[in-house]
Amino acid sequence: MTGTTVDTDFIHVFEPGSDPARRPLLLLHGTGGDERDLLSLGRTVAPGASLLSPRGKVLEGAAPRFFRRLAEGVFDEADLRQRTDELADFVLLARERYGLPAPIALGFSNGANIAAALLLQRPEILAGAALLRAMVPFAEPPRADLTGKPVLILSGALDPIVPKANAEALARQLGESGAAVEHRALPAGHGLGQADIGLLGDWLARN
C-alpha cells in the first residue's frame, strides 16, 4: 500500500488501482477524519479502483476539515470557495502526477459538502460524485453545466445534522444543473451503515 505523501499542497494517500476500467475515487473525509479514513470504504465499494485521499487543511480545534464553518450547518462560504479551488487544483496536479482520468468523488459529511461544491464551482474536475450526508454548500450556487454527470446522494431520514429539506434541495439543485441524480433517504442518522455500503457499491459498479 502506498504511504502518506506530504510533498504536495495536500497531505494525501494514493493507492494505484488494479482495474483500469474503474474510475478512480477521490475520497473526502468528514470532520475529524484524515487521509486514511475512507480507504477501507473505497476498497470495499470500488474494488480495483485507484484511490486518491487528501487530508483537509482546515483545523477546527484538532479536527481536520476541508473548509471552515461558522456554526454547525452554517458555512463560511468565502472560505469554502477558496478551499474548493485549492482542492480542484490539487486534483489536477494529482491526475497529472499519477496518470489518472477525472475521478468520482466519494465524500462523507464535510467531505461530501466540498464534493458538492466542486461539482458546482469546478465541474470539470469530477466525473461524478457520491455524496454521503451532504448539505447544500452555497446559498447562491455558481451556474454549472453538469449534463450527464452521475451523482448519488445518500441522506439519513433521522440525521440530526442535515435536515431532510436541505438534502432534497441539494438533489434538486444538482439535477437542475443537468446531473443524473439518484437520491435515497435511508432510515439512518448521520453515520454510515451497511445499507449505504450496498447502495454505494451498486451505484459505482454502474458508473
Q: For residue range 84-94, what is the model confidence (pLDDT) as tens digits? A: 999 999 999 99
The pLDDT value recorded for residue 57 is: 94
Rounded mean pLDDT, 187-203: 97
| Residues 41, 55 contacting (CB under 8 angstroms) | no
The pLDDT value recorded for residue 6 is: 46
Selecting among 53, 109, 155, 177, the annotated active-site residue is 109
Residue 79 is among the residues annotated as catalytic for this protein: no
Selecting among 12, 37, 50, 159, the annotated active-site residue is 159
Summarised one tens digit per residue, pLDDT across range 6-30 is: 445 899 999 999 999 999 999 999 9
The conformational region for residue 133 under phi > 0 = left, psi -120 to 50 = alpha, else beta, is left
Summarised one tens digit per residue, pLDDT across range 28-86 is: 999 999 999 999 999 999 999 999 999 999 999 999 999 998 888 889 999 999 999 99
Rounded mean pLDDT, 163-171: 96
State how far the Cα of 41 lies from the Cα of 109, in Å rounded to an integer.
14
Alpha helices, DSSP H, located in 63-108: 77-98
Summarised one tens digit per residue, pLDDT across range 88-144 is: 999 999 999 999 999 999 999 999 999 999 999 999 999 999 999 999 999 988 999
b/e sequence 3-12, b meaning 16+ C-beta within 10 Å? eeeeeeebbb
Architecture per CATH, domain 4-206, reads as 3-Layer(aba) Sandwich (3.40)
Residue 154 vs residues 1, 20, 106, 171: alpha-carbon distances, Å: 29, 26, 11, 10
Residue 37 is among the residues annotated as catalytic for this protein: no
The pLDDT value recorded for residue 1 is: 40
State how far the Cα of 192 lies from the Cα of 186, in Å rounded to an integer.
10
Domains of the chain by residue range = 4-206
Residue 177 is among the residues annotated as catalytic for this protein: no
Closest residue by Cα to residue 183 from 164, 158, 160: 164
The pLDDT value recorded for residue 72 is: 81
Residue 131 vs residues 26, 51, 112: alpha-carbon distances, Å: 12, 16, 5
pTM of the model: 0.95
